[in-house]
Amino acid sequence: MKKVMIPPIKCQGIKSKLVPFINRIVDWSFKGRWIEPFMGSGVVGFNIMPGNAIFADSNPHLINFYNAIAKGKIDGLKVRSFLEQNGEILSKFGKDYYYEVRERFNKTHDPLDFLFLNRCCFNGMIRFNRRGGFNVPFGPKPQRFSKAYITKIVNQVDYVQIISRHSNWSFICQDYKDTLKDITDDDFLYCDPPYVGRHVDHYDSWDEENEKYLFEILSKSPCRFILSTWHSNQYRKNVFLEALWSEFHVSTKEHFYHIGAKEENRKPILEAFVSNFTPKHLHEEPVERAEQLSLLEKLSDYYSELQN
Ligand X SMILES: C[S@@+](CC[C@H](N)C(=O)[O-])C[C@H]1O[C@@H](n2cnc3c(N)ncnc32)[C@H](O)[C@@H]1O
Q: Where do contacts with ligand X occur on this chain (CB under 6 A)?
A: 11, 13-15, 37-38, 40-41, 43-44, 57-59, 175-176, 192-194, 203-204, 206
**Alpha-helical regions (H) of the chain:** 19-25, 43-48, 60-70, 76-93, 95-108, 111-120, 147-165, 176-179, 208-219, 239-243, 290-307
Minimum distance, C-beta of residue 262 to ligand X, in the bound complex (Å) = 23
DSSP string, 241-278: HHHTSTTSEEEEEEEEEESSS-GGGEEEEEEEEEESS-
Minimum distance, C-beta of residue 255 to ligand X, in the bound complex (Å) = 12
Nearer to ligand X among residue 91 and residue 210 (C-beta): 210
Nearer to ligand X among residue 26 and residue 90 (C-beta): 26
Minimum distance, C-beta of residue 300 to ligand X, in the bound complex (Å) = 25
Nearer to ligand X among residue 60 and residue 80 (C-beta): 60
Q: Of how many residues is the chain composed?
A: 308
Minimum distance, C-beta of residue 195 to ligand X, in the bound complex (Å) = 7
Nearer to ligand X among residue 130 and residue 283 (C-beta): 130
Q: Do 174 and 17 meet the contact criterion of CB atoms below 8 Å apart?
A: no
Nearer to ligand X among residue 44 and residue 272 (C-beta): 44
Q: How far apart are CA 115 and CA 21, in angstroms?
A: 28
| Residue-wise burial string across 64-92, b where 16 or more C-beta atoms lie within 10 A, e elsewhere | bbbbbbbeeebebeebbebbeebbeebee
- Residue in 290, 38, 30, 69 with CA at minimum distance from that of residue 184: 30
Minimum distance, C-beta of residue 40 to ligand X, in the bound complex (Å) = 3
Nearer to ligand X among residue 58 and residue 118 (C-beta): 58
Minimum distance, C-beta of residue 131 to ligand X, in the bound complex (Å) = 17
Minimum distance, C-beta of residue 7 to ligand X, in the bound complex (Å) = 7
Minimal CB distance to ligand X: which residue? 40
* Distance in angstroms between the alpha carbons of the first and the last residue of the chain: 27
Q: What is the DSSP letter of 189?
A: E
Sort strands 266-275 and 224-233 into parallel, antiparallel or unpaired: antiparallel
Nearer to ligand X among residue 138 and residue 206 (C-beta): 206
Minimum distance, C-beta of residue 194 to ligand X, in the bound complex (Å) = 5
What are the distances in angstroms from CA 91 to CA 81, 105, 146, 149, 259?
15, 19, 10, 14, 26
Q: Do 75 and 69 meet the contact criterion of CB atoms below 8 Å apart?
A: yes
Nearer to ligand X among residue 91 and residue 132 (C-beta): 132
The partner residues of 226 in beta bridges, in order of sequence, read: 190, 275
